Structure formats: structure tokens, C-alpha cells
Structure 1
Amino acid sequence: MTTFADFQLSPFLAQRLSSQGFTAPTPIQAAAIKPAIEGRDILAQAKTGSGKTLAFLIPLIERATKPAAPSREGGRASAGSLSGPSALILAPTRELALQIETELRKYAPPALTSLSVYGGTPIERHYRALRRPPMVIVGTPGRLLDLLGSRHLKLTEVQYVVMDEADQMLDRGFLPDIQRIMGMLPKERQTLLFSATFAPAIQALAETMLNKPVHTKVDLGVSSPVKISHGYYVVDSEEMRSRLVHTLLQTIPAAGRAMVFCEQKYKVRKLAARLGGEAAFVGAITGNHSQAQRERTLSAFRAGRLRSLVATDVAARGLDIPDVAQVIHFELPTTPNSYVHRAGRTGRAEKEGATVLILTYQEESEYLRMVRRLRIDTLRLKVPELVPMPKPAIDDTANDDRTHGRPRRAPHHTAQSRHREHDRKPWGTHGGAPTSPRYGR
């Protein structure tokens, strides 16, 4: 069995991994770390919760803190910080960017400086932080382009590039921004792309950004059947959807948490209010919430002060939240990939979990086609006796997406990039099935 000792990591990093209880790498880490340390480009696919973040952070830390050395054929020079960052990590959402940098700081020596940059916060903070360029930048595309456009950030020294959740980053909504950023990077660089899912068209596009990459596919799918159970309920009204969600939340173990996903932002706010809001330990996250609100809500959810979180897909990717016992889909997801990433919030770190959908009779056949495509076994469940709804919280949806309201943005965002750090594009891009009129926004 492979252990972290087999990689001959620096003593500092080896000690940090040991202090966190890590002795053996996960399959994706075992497959990706060695070639990445050697300088190879990587195209890696593995299920959510499989340890992808450390699979690219460990090589980054090793290459950034060791003296440059000749790399093998197909590799590139070791990273090092000069007048700008030597490593760039791209993430689709603010929360994921923050989480990646938090993990980096946990394992990297203090000399390896880093900064996360994202929209929703005053850009002047990033201007000040970039006066002394960090060695690693973790950021979302829109804010990176703002900083590049104002010349507060230069990418001329970047030698190590990571694209996390690469399938979403290369989707049509993000692609122009990604292409602009990649065009500003040195041609001689090491590039690593990681994701849980890759449509064929997206994978072909990814290949154009890589140089003789190592292809790694391990632990594909949502999770093993033993770890995550899949089921669905069929209801005949919107009122029953809400009451069933409330009933299911009452069954979550005392030490567990639940996540409820909705397709649209106004539905998140309306459902969270109907479930009683924070007075009933229910939080909500959408792209319309400020960064401070989102961080505060996620912190309370992780700490257990909130036991349930209602969210759009802004919370579906990359976030590592422990003890999520159940994922509830308030309605049918618009894409198979969305289903995979949402379900991946439970059953993490080899723990058991459950994911259930609440469907109408019309949605049932579409869902069954989806799970057949994903090769997932699912079971139709009997609707339990529904418990009374709690006293609702105040539902402030005056400026939600039904009335075309938009969240306030930092003034430096471009018109094209404003929405991209928050909202997922509907099914229908890069060879997917056409967008259903019922779910189009």
C-alpha cells in the first residue's frame, strides 16, 4: 500500500500531514501526486470527497519550497516566487477559493505566502495585499481579471496552475474569462485540471490547455452504493414539497446536518423562511447574499449552530462540510452533473450518507433516465406522515431573481463576469441535453 512516506516529502509537510492523521493517500492522491511533483501536467477525474484538494496542494507545496531541479521529459521547472505569484489556483466560487487557501495554509510553511481573491469584497483590500506579491494566488475568474486589468496583479512568473472544478470552469459561462487568463500565463508552465465530472466536449477543450498530460481517473461516480443511498419521493403539490422537506429534517441525527438544494434563488429564500429560518436552525445561501453573510452562514453550519442549509448550486461544489447526513433535492436538478456534485456533499471521508429527491409525477421519468445514465441505483420511497410546518420567518424576496433584481457587486467587475462566480449555467452547454423550458431561468 502506498503511503505519504513513499513520496519523500519535505519534513515540514510530512509532519503536517501526520499531525492531521494522514498516513496513506487516497486513490486520486496516490495517482496524481508523484507525476505532479515531477512536473507533469495532470488531467484528473475523481468523485467528490475523494481528496482532490490535497492531490494538487501537496505537489504545489513541494515544488514551491524546494530548490529548482531538472524535471523529467514533459515536465517543467520548479515554481518559485519572484516579482509575482509563482502559483495560481482557479476556483469557480468564493467559498471554494477560501476553502482551498485555508487548506493551503494548514499544510504549507509560513514562508509560502498566499492570498485568496474573489468578488463580493472591496477590491481595495486586494490592491493593498498585492503590494507584496504572495507566492500563491487562489481566485475566481472575475476578480482575477479585475486585478489584471488594473495592473495590480501580474502572472508573468506563474509556473504552476491549477483549475479546480475544471468542468464548470470550462463551461460556456466561464470560458471567455478562463481563456483570457490562460493567455496571460507563461507558455512554459505546469497545469493541473481536477474535477468530479468531465463531459467529452469539456475534456477535449481541457486537452488544448495541457502539454502531454497524465490522465488519471479514479473513484468515478457519486460514491459507492454502500456509502450513499439514493431515493426519491413523488408528491402532487408544491405545498407537499415544503412539508416533506420539513418532515425529513426532523429525522436527521442530533450530530448530523442536512443540505437542501433548490434551482432558483427566490425558492431558497422562500423555503428557508417557511422552515422557520435561523430561529429553527435553518440557514440559506445564494449568490445574492453578500460574502460576509455567506461566510457567517457557512461557519455557523460547520460549527453546528445551524443544522440545515438551504442553497443553490453555489454550495454544491468543492465545499467540505463534515457530518452532512442527508442531501435533499427540493426538485429535479437541471443536469446530471448538478446531481453528482450535490450528492457529493454527503458520504464524505468514507462516511455513510443519503440523498433524496422530491419530484412530481412528471419529473419521475426524467429522473430515472438521469440515474440510469449515471449508473446509480435508486429507490422510490413512501411519503411519510407529514408533520405540521413551523412558524415561518420573514421572507424578504423583494429583490430576488423573479423580479430581475441583482446583488450589489464591486464596481470593478465587468458586465460579462459579474454573475459567473455565483450561478451555474443550465443544462444545454457543450453537448448536454437541451435546457428544459420548465427549468430555464
Structure 2
Amino acid sequence: MRDDLGGAIDVAGNAAPDGILGPFREKEASFYTIKDIWSPLQLAEPERFASGLPDGFDGRIRLTNHYTFISTRTCRFTWRLLDFHTPSQRRDGHTVRDQGTATAPALEPGAQEVLRLPRPYGWRRADALALALAPTVTVTDGHELHSWTWTIASATDQARRLVRKGLGPAVRGRLADDRLVLASRHTTVTLDATTGMPAGVTHRGKDFTLSRGPLPTTGTAGLTRLTHGPDGNGYTVEAEHSGVLRHVRWSLHPSGWLQLDYRYHLTGEHRRPLPRRRAAPPPPPPAPRTRRPLLRNAFLRLPTTVLVLASLGFLGLGEQPPTPEWGRLLSENQPYAELAPPDRPRPGLRPDPALRPGRHHHASPRHPPPLNRPPPRQAPAHHGRPPASRPRTRTARPSPASGTSTAVTR
């Protein structure tokens, strides 16, 4: 809805405001949120940089490569040390104190690696550190993909450096017609004595639309007590409220800085703070191509390992009873190798008739023939003539009908 167009709905095709770009093609907060979420490189430890650079920052930043096929060798990392303009400089923006290019780590797709940034002399005196990520010109047109900016000094240190409370003459305060006016050298603050909220602020003759605050988004805030008076060279106004807003304190310093401190108590159902977004765990790195060579080497060494273990067991240096061990079994059964040689023929060997079942070859008189076994039968001598055929008689079973039997002789 465009108020400047008589309430018409702005549907100018792709030029319409969509929450990413505004009606004047300006970048809104969603633009940078999408860049942060869709960035192919993410911080592996985002909670470590949630409040700026950590105290013991040593120049190392662990990154995760979310690219599927591209290594970070094709990326370029540029760092800058920034100094923000102060309110007394009457301009916005920042000044680059120092800058350079960091060596991109060889970060494969799905892996993590540490990016090392140089720390030039006096880098702690800068306000912030900015790190920009962009592909090389040989891959794309070199446009920036994502950037991070971390404050080096804490918020307390920044406020202590920027806000100068004690410079200037003492602040004066006066109450007139339900209006409490606080005046310093260049700043005048007017508070409504019936609500305890500011009604207007003037600095160097210029009015600022700072009024009717602070207000809770839900609940009520009713003034119950208002006190004011000098506080050193400054002037302080304290307001007690009933409801969600409990206490408000306004302090005007001699330098013209206006400070606000407040306390509130939220009751009832309310939305809990969203959990901190954490980067997804990186996928496991691809396995190196060494599985097949290792398997081949293991299978080639397996027979040698088995023979070495069996040899140790044969010499009595392997596993002890009652654990079964191949080499020890061979050693214990060695005396019986001549008494009961293997009966089955081995491939490629001609069986020895003397070693067939029922035949025993005694190579030494120390080994007597086995007991409880009849001696081998020998065929009779024929002296060159075939043996006479012996008649064989087969007797038939008697027939149940006649009760007779029949003998057949051949």
C-alpha cells in the first residue's frame, strides 16, 4: 500500500517491494539475512563470534565448506580493519585503517579448515574487523558472496570512548507548568511531569522527534512517582511506574549526552527468545581411495600371519591349553603320524596300495601291528592254472502253499 500514490497497491512487476528490496530498490534487512543463510561458506563456531571477536582472538577462524563440488581454492578472502565515525564527526560510514588478502585454505567440499588472518601492529585499536568472501574472477564475475563484520572492542568500551559525560558546564533543571526542562550547553530536554516521558529534545537549535517513551509493547505503564535533582555536574530524573514498566531514569550529562536506563517486568504468556541458529554439522569428508590397496595387502599377509602363529604354537610359544591352537595340535599328534598315516589320497599323488585300509606297512620293529585287528588275507597260489569252480547252492524259501522247498545247484 503506497500512501504517496493515493493508497494504491504497488505491484510494479519485479520492481515491487518484496521484503528483500524496498520501494526505492534499497536493500532491507532480509537481503543480508538471505546472504547469511545461503552463503556456501559458514562459520564452524558461530557462537564464538556472537558478540564480536573473542578476547583471545589469535587470527584463526574455522570455516565449513558447504559447496558440493567446489574447493575454497577458487575463493578469495579479503580482510579490513575499520574505524567507525563518531557522532561528533557529523557523518556516517567508516574509514579503512588497514586491509589485505588472506591465503585461502585448501578446504574440500563438506570439510572444515582454519583460515588464518594476519594481525598487523595496533589492530586492537580498530573498531571492527570485516572479512569478505568472493569467488575468483576465473570462476564468476567476482561479486561478493558474503561478508562478516565483528566489533573488536566491547560495547562498554565503545560507549566509554564515545560518550564523554563530564565535559561542559553543569546541567540546570526547572519545573514549570507540568514541564520539567533540563538544559546543558548545547542540549535541552523537556519531560512531561504527568507521564515522566520526554516531550521534546533540542540540540544546537535543531529539534529531534524523541518523545513519549519508552513504552512497553504489551501491558500498561502508569506513573506513580517522579523525582529529580542534580547528580554531580549532571541532572537526573527518576520515574516509578506501575504495570509492566517499573522504573525509568533519565540522565543529562554536561557534554550534552542523554542517557536512559529502565527496568520492566514481563508477566503472562509471551514468546520465548528464539534459539541461536547453529550451522548444520558438516557431512563426513570423502573416504580416501586407499580401501582396496589396504584390503589387498591384508589378504596377501594373511597366510604368512597364520603360518607364523602356527609355528609359534608348534614350538609351544602360542596359546596354552585349554585354548585350541593349530600348531600345538600338530605338535601333540606328531608321534601318531606313523601309526595312522592319512588314508585319503592327496591331489596329484598316486595312492600307495600298502597304505589302503586293512594294510599296514611297518617300517620299524619298534611299532607293533595294531591290536584287535585280523591279519590281512592272502590269495592262494594257482601255479599257472585257474582255480576249479566250486558249486554254489542257493536254497529257496518254502512255498506257503505246498510246504516244500526247492534247491537249485549250479
The alignment's TM-score, normalised by the length of structure 1, stands at 0.17
Q: Which has the higher helix share?
A: 1
Q: Which has the higher strand share?
A: 2
Higher relative contact order (CA 8 A, sep 6+): 1
Of structures 1 and 2, the larger Rg is shown by 2
